[in-house]
Amino acid sequence: MGNVQNHGLDLSVTARRAISHDFNLSATVNFTTYNNEVKRIAEGIENFDGTSRRFGGGNPIVRNQVGWPISTFFGYQIDGFWESQAQIDQYNAGAEGGVYQNEAAPGRFRYADINGDGRITADDRTRLGDPHPDFTYGLDLMVNYRNFDVSAFFYGSQGNDVWNQVRWWTDFFPSFQGARSTTALYDSWRPDEHYGVSNPNVTAPIQENAGSTATNLVPNSYYVEDGSFLKLRTLQVGYTFSPDLLSQFGMNQLRVYVQAQNLFTLTGYSGPDPEIGNTQSANASTTSFGVDEGAYPASRQFLFGINLGF
């Protein structure tokens, strides 16, 4: 059934310090790094494709290949935009058959010639990233000062990629005419002197009425983003009342606390939530994951609690 190899390092270090009789600190740091690689699939088979989503059969966004990590993102590497018809004609003049890239037009994506044969074909599809992080880390802090206690848990991931399928809906007019991102409105290529190559903010192709293989009809690197993040998962502040005070009311323990979950996420990812796992994307499996189709981010919660002891 094939072989997959995982190897890495998992560390946990805890430190405690008594600053004074009433002031104590403790911290636990977790660090995990691993390497995932498909070693073998089956006799005579070097790869198999995963989900294709809105691109149809023959256009997978995930390819599992020997020597690559599981759920590697796959498609055309964008090498800029076609800036003019003269530029397209220049490329076509040196291409076999006179066509360097099908459906090339000013403002559309210009794909990289990965295999160097002088034209863009399906053989130029390449590895675009993968959802496996370089490392993940956590920090668990606890502070006690007299009757007060404060705890916080931070969690982060570094180096993981996310396939942002949400951009298919929001950044391309032919995909869905009812949604417009600020990228599509303000940072798309426009055919005049104020935009195009002279505008450093251009990140999206020209907005058109019809889709094309040079914009939204095939998987390409436009959808792959750095999914690194740091989250404050939990913050809790508590107060424990003095036993001498509680004894007057027939109690021996009373602690009140307030807790906040998912207070903030620090990330450069443009989608709803960079933490995309197997269960967060439609049609996810153990070989196709890290695809964001609009998974709702974890909600921010505030809890109030009382611990009583009699």
Give residue 274's Cα distance to chain centre.
4
Question: In angstroms, rounded to a whole number, what is the distance separating the alpha carbons of residues 298 and 119?
Answer: 44
- pLDDT score of 57: 77
Average pLDDT for the chain: 92
Distance separating alpha carbons of residues 144 and 16, to the nearest angstrom: 11
CA dist 29 and 233 (Å) reads 14
Q: Report the pLDDT value the prediction gives residue 66, as an integer from 0 to 100.
A: 97
Task: Write down how long the chain is.
Answer: 310
What distance in Å separates the CA atoms of residue 283 and residue 279, rounded to the nearest whole number?
9
SS3 call for 89: helix
pLDDT at 297: 84
Residue 109 covered by a domain: no
Report CA torsion sign: 160, 60, 294, 212: positive
Residue 94 forms part of a structural domain: no
- Phi, psi at 215, each rounded to 5°: -135, -85
For residue 149, tell me if it sits in a domain.
yes
Phi-psi region of 169 (alpha: psi -120 to 50; beta: other; left: phi over 0): alpha
Judge whether 123 lies within some domain: no
Which residues of the chain carry a pLDDT beneath 50? 279-280
Give domain status of residue 202, yes or no: no
pLDDT tens for residues 275-293?
986 544 555 678 899 999 9
Question: How do residues 135-145 score in pLDDT, each as one tens digit?
Answer: 999 999 999 99
Task: Report how many domains make up the chain.
Answer: 1
The pLDDT score that the predictor gives to residue 280 is 46
d(CA 257, CA 243): 17
What tokens appear for 182 in the block? Answer: 């600020």
Residue 75's contacts (CB-CB under 8 Å, 6 or more residues apart) are 59, 61, 125, 126, 128, 218, 219, 220, 221, 223
CB neighbours of 290 closer than 8 A, spacing ≥ 6? 71, 73, 130, 131, 160, 161, 162, 163, 227, 276, 281
119 lies in a domain? no
Structural domain harbouring 259: 1-70+128-171+219-310
What pLDDT score was predicted for residue 282?
52
Both tokens of residue 90? 């220049």
Closest CA to 130 of 201, 205, 74, 77: 74
* In a domain? residue 268: yes
| Residue 11, token pair as written in the block | 């560390």
Let me know if residue 239 belongs to a domain: yes
Residue pair 153/140 in contact by the 8 Å Cβ criterion: yes
Which residue, 236, 240, 255, is CA-closest to 302? 236
Of 33, 36, 115, 22, nearest to 68 by C-alpha is 36
Which pLDDT belongs to residue 195?
53
